[in-house]
Structure 1
């Protein structure tokens, strides 16, 4: 399947939505939707990010995993303090719990 920018380029070359649909072998409604979305958002073909960005970086996750493997009986609060001193990340104990569950650590 072609990208949205290809559809826009085809539209700019004075081709109809039907012709673009036949050329790219995708439904007319899809082509029309992409063109409409591009008109609304300007040159960006994607919508803005939804939701809040993650607080934990990949570095923070790997550091957390290492601290858990070294000393698995420490509390989440002490792990949060360790991450703050090691990486400079200020993360709550609830976030530590959530990240550990996503990594497969329980209990």
Structure 2
């Protein structure tokens, strides 16, 4: 990928951050004529610092006898 296409990809991701990689690839192909596979896009996202979201883990709550919990 060229530097210009990376900039277009980064702008597109920042504007529409909830779209899937497939829909972003189709959008880039129709608007800019940039042919890119979703695998290459995901690799470029990772290289640019965009990482997939992970679910926040809930803390494990232990029962505390000192507060009257049983």
Report what 1:62 is aligned to.
7
Report what 2:27 is aligned to.
82
> What is the CA distance between 1:102 and its match in structure 2?
0.3
Report what 2:44 is aligned to.
99
Report what 2:64 is aligned to.
none
> What is the CA distance between 1:92 and its match in structure 2?
0.6
Report what 2:57 is aligned to.
none
Q: How many residues align?
A: 52
The structure number with the bigger radius of gyration is: 1
Task: Name the Cα RMSD after superposition.
Answer: 1.0
TM-score normalised over the length of structure 2: 0.68
Which structure has the higher relative contact order (CA within 8 Å, separation 6+)?
2
**Long gaps (5+) in structure 1:** 1-55
Q: Distance in 1 between matches of 2:20 and 2:5?
A: 17
TM-score normalised over the length of structure 1: 0.46
